[in-house]
Homo-oligomer: A and B are copies of this chain.
Amino acid sequence: MATAEMERIVLVRHIDGAPSPDDFRVERLPIPELAEGQFLARNHYVSCDPGTRSRLSPGASYAPPLAPGAPVDGFCVGEVIASRNERFAVGERLAMSGWASHVVSNGRGYCVKLPDLGVPESLFIGVLGIPGMTSWFGLKRVAALQAGERVLVTSAAGPVGATAGQLARLWGASEVIGIAGGADKCAWVKDVAGFTACLDYKAPDFEAQFAALAAPGFDVMFDNVGNAMIDRALPHMKLRGRIVVSGQVADYNTPVDQVPGLKHTREFIAKRLRMEGLVVFDDLPGFAAAQAELAALIRAGQLVYREEVFEGLASLPEAFCGLFTGASFGRRVVRV
Point out residues on A near B: beta carbons under 8 Å. Answer: 54, 60-62, 226-227, 230-231, 235, 245-248, 251-252, 256-257, 259-279, 282
Contacts and interface: CB of A to CB of B under 8 A. Distances in A.
Given A245-B269, A260-B261, A261-B262, 8 more contacts: A245-B268, A248-B265, A248-B266, A251-B266, A252-B266, A256-B263, A271-B277, A274-B277
B257 A268 contact: no
A62 B274 contact: no
A263 B227 contact: yes
Nearest to A62: B270
Contacts of A264: 256
A235 to B, nearest CB: 8
9 contacts: A60-B235, A61-B270, A227-B263, A257-B263, A259-B265, A261-B262, A262-B263, A272-B278, A274-B276
A53 to B, nearest CB: 11
Given A269-B245, A277-B270, A263 B261 contact: yes
A274 B274 CA distance: 7
Contact of A269 (B230, B270, B277): B277
A279 B267 CA distance: 11
Contacts of A272: 276-279, 282
Nearest to A230: B265
B278 A227 contact: no
Contacts of A257: 263
A84 to B, nearest CB: 35
B276 A268 contact: yes
Contacts of A262: 227, 261-263, 265
Contacts of A282: 272
A77 to B, nearest CB: 24
Contacts of A279: 269-270, 272
Contacts of A274: 274-277
Contacts of A245: 265, 268-269
Contacts of A62: 269-271
A269 B278 contact: yes
A36 to B, nearest CB: 35
A291 B278 CA distance: 36
Most buried by B among A231, A263, A264: A263
Nearest to A51: B269
A61 B269 CA distance: 8
Contacts of A230: 265
A251 B265 contact: yes
- List 3 A-B pairs, minimum CB-CB distance, nearest first: A261-B261, A268-B277, A269-B277
B266 A256 contact: yes
A110 to B, nearest CB: 17
Contacts of A276: 268, 272-275
A278 B273 CA distance: 8
A245 B62 CA distance: 24
Nearest to A251: B266
Nearest to A276: B274
Contacts of A273: 276-277
Given A274-B275, A274-B276, A54 B266 contact: yes
